[in-house]
Amino acid sequence: MARREKQRLAVLGASGSIGVSTLDVVARHPERFELIALTAYSRIDVLAQQCLRHRPRYAVVGSAADAKTLSAVLSDAGLATEVLAGPEALERVAALDEVDTVMAAIVGAAGLAPTLAAVRAGKRLLLANKEALVMAGALFMAEVSRSGAQLLPIDSEHNAVFQSLPADYAGSFDGKGVRRILLTASGGPFLNTPMAQLISVTPAQACAHPNWVMGRKISVDSATMMNKGLEVIEAHWLFNAPADRIEVVIHPQSVIHSLVEYADGSVLAQLGNPDMRTPIAHALAYPERIEAGVTPLDLCAIGRLSFERPDGKRFPCLPLAYQAMSAGGSAPTLLNAANEVAVAAFLAGRLPFLAIADIISAVLDALPAVPLPDLEAVLGADREARLAAGKAVARRET
């Protein structure tokens, strides 16, 4: 049998929750994968350990000081890894000729430029960084079709939808008899918390997700359900899904990761234990299937699966996201930026949990939705919304 060429990977955000799970899957299959580049902005100690283990050709960090520290550790250990720093270095490793596949797992808007660089270079792109697609959807998808990049969703819901759509789905619901996409949502840690208590919940409580262990920003997004709002917009772009054909269903057990309904009444779903190594392994090996280290699903032990409709009063971020998607243009960019600012303020103890939605709503009301013809316009809208959100946070503090 011919020897398989190894798939050469760059993992952006290697030190984070998705990055660590990615390296876990990769380490199970040394014959399949080779790590060319690893990047991190924080937890440089984790990145150093990852470099010692996987010996990538490049490591990228945020600052020159971190680069110096990491270089010293790696050269002491006899590694030839080249250590680079800063946003341009991220774009460079995302577009390297010797890289086939890029895992985009940086959190937030900081991931946009390197993710787009991978798209423009026509890479196979494993997309976890949903904020990049939300803030620049039209531009992002236009670049995907221009460059021929292959886009594989890592977000568990979108990966489930991808798996439940026909294999030759090419972006038209009606052409394939698709009626609706149903995105499942756990409802997060506050699904049944009395509303009066939500006023005083802490970052630690908001980050204690019942089913998933994730980075802090997405954990807060899950608690407000803005995560599902961002995912509705993500599904709109990934699958060319009309807004009124994407429905959110609360499913607290997080066993069904999402569903696709067809014209004949069939509903196909993807199930599994809540472990991101499943969608990561699916996308890494696609169209093959590989071992991911995930505990097999024991339905009888789970016993019951339940479902309910989301409550827009308890979770106002969800209707805000639908509103931004319908407004189009820069509205999702503004929504995403305002949310990032509000979540950071909440995590820093500067904003009450329930005020996150107020800040986003104030920014959407204050700034008009305008067309975004290019990256400059996207970044401009992002900056403007961050300024407006920062002012709205400061006003509440005084």
Phi, psi of 242 (to 5 degrees): -65, 145
Q: How far is CA 312 from CA 12, 134, 235, in A?
A: 34, 21, 19
Nearer to Mg ion, 110 or 226 (CB): 226
Smallest distance from ligand NAD to CB 43, Å = 6
Smallest distance from ligand NAD to CB 91, Å = 11
Q: What is the binding site for ligand NAD (CB under 6 A)?
A: 13-19, 40-43, 62, 105-107, 110, 128-131, 155, 212, 214-215, 218, 276
Q: Which residue is nearest to ligand NAD (CB)?
A: 16
Smallest distance from Mg ion to CB 248, Å = 11
Smallest distance from ligand NAD to CB 115, Å = 10
Nearest-angstrom CA–CA distance, 155 and 232 = 12
Nearer to Mg ion, 156 or 224 (CB): 156
Nearer to Mg ion, 248 or 360 (CB): 248
Residue 81 interacts, among ligand NAD, Mg ion, none and using kind-specific CB cut-offs from 5 to 8 Å, with none
Q: Quick one: CA dihedral 187, 190, 195, 198, positive or negative?
A: negative
Q: For residue 180, how many other CB atoms are within 10 A of its CB? A: 16
Nearer to ligand NAD, 221 or 367 (CB): 221
Residue 106 interacts, among ligand NAD, Mg ion, none and using kind-specific CB cut-offs from 5 to 8 Å, with ligand NAD
Smallest distance from ligand NAD to CB 65, Å = 15
Query: What is the full DSSP assignment across 276-332?
Result: THHHHHHHHHTTS-----PPPP-HHHH-----B---TTT-THHHHHHHHHHH-TTHH
Residue 218 interacts, among ligand NAD, Mg ion, none and using kind-specific CB cut-offs from 5 to 8 Å, with ligand NAD
Smallest distance from ligand NAD to CB 113, Å = 10
Residue 272 interacts, among ligand NAD, Mg ion, none and using kind-specific CB cut-offs from 5 to 8 Å, with none
Residue 37 interacts, among Mg ion, ligand NAD, none and using kind-specific CB cut-offs from 5 to 8 Å, with none
Structure tokens at 52: 């010692």
Residue 322 interacts, among ligand NAD, Mg ion, none and using kind-specific CB cut-offs from 5 to 8 Å, with none
| Buried b or exposed e, range 19-31, using 16+ CB within 10 angstroms | bbbbbebbeebee
Nearest-angstrom CA–CA distance, 240 and 215 = 28
Q: What is the binding site for Mg ion (CB under 5 A)?
A: 155-157
Nearer to ligand NAD, 336 or 361 (CB): 336
Structure tokens at 193: 């918390």
| Buried b or exposed e, range 322-347, using 16+ CB within 10 angstroms | bebbeebbbbbbbbbbbbbbbbbbbb
Phi, psi of 161 (to 5 degrees): -65, -45
Contact 311, 333 (CB under 8 A): no
Residue 128 interacts, among Mg ion, ligand NAD, none and using kind-specific CB cut-offs from 5 to 8 Å, with ligand NAD
Q: Which residue is nearest to Mg ion (CB)?
A: 155
Smallest distance from ligand NAD to CB 117, Å = 13
Contact 249, 225 (CB under 8 A): no
